[in-house]
A = this chain, B = another copy of it.
Amino acid sequence: MFIELDLQSETPIYAQLVDQIVEGIASGALQPGDPLPSVRSLGEDLGINLHTVNKSYNLLKQEGFLQVHRKKGVIVQPDGMPGVTDAFEEKLRRQLRSLAAEAAVRGMTEAAFTQMSTSLYRDTITNRGGEQR
C-alpha cells in the first residue's frame, strides 16, 4: 500500500488518509473499480483505529470517490468521478486564500506561488503510469 501517515502532524489522521487516497486516484495508482483494503485490514496495516479508517472511507463514499459494495467491498468509483461542486470550489477558494495570504506575508512572490501551484498539479497527475502497482 502506498499510504504513509505522519502521526506527529497537525492534520488529523482521517484527513491524511482521505488526501492520500484522492492523490492515489489522481496519479492513477488507484484506478476506477480497483478494490481497497477492508476497514479492518487497512486499520491493522497502518496501526490506526478502525473508526478512523471508517470515517475516511465514509467521507470518500459521500463525496463519490469510493463505492461500498456488499460483495466487492470498498472499490474506487467506477461510474465516473464527481465533478467540481460548489462545495469543492468553496473549499478550494478558502484554502488557497489562506495559503496565498501566508505566502504573500512571508514574501513569496505571485510568480513563485503560481509556479508552485502549477508544478504540484502536474506532479499529482504525471505520475500516471509510473506508480501503477
- Is A116 located at the chain interface by the 8 A CB criterion? yes
- Is A124 located at the chain interface by the 8 A CB criterion? yes
Contacts of A23 in B (CB 8 A): 97-98, 101
Q: Which of A37-45, A67-75, A76-84 makes up part of the contact surface?
A: A76-84
Residue of B nearest to A88 (CB): B106
- Please classify the interface of chain A as helix (H, G, I), strand (E, B), loop, or mixed, using the class held by over half of its residues: helix
- Is A19 located at the chain interface by the 8 A CB criterion? yes
- Is A102 located at the chain interface by the 8 A CB criterion? yes
CB distance from A113 to the nearest CB of B (A): 5
- Interface contacts beyond A84-B103, A84-B106, A113-B117: sample of 20 additional A-B pairs, CB < 8 Å, sorted by A: A19-B98, A19-B101, A22-B105, A23-B101, A26-B104, A65-B105, A82-B106, A85-B106, A88-B106, A92-B116, A95-B95, A95-B99, A96-B99, A96-B120, A97-B120, A101-B124, A104-B121, A104-B125, A114-B114, A114-B121
9 contacts between A and B (CB under 8 A): A26-B100, A81-B106, A84-B103, A84-B106, A92-B103, A95-B95, A100-B117, A104-B125, A110-B122
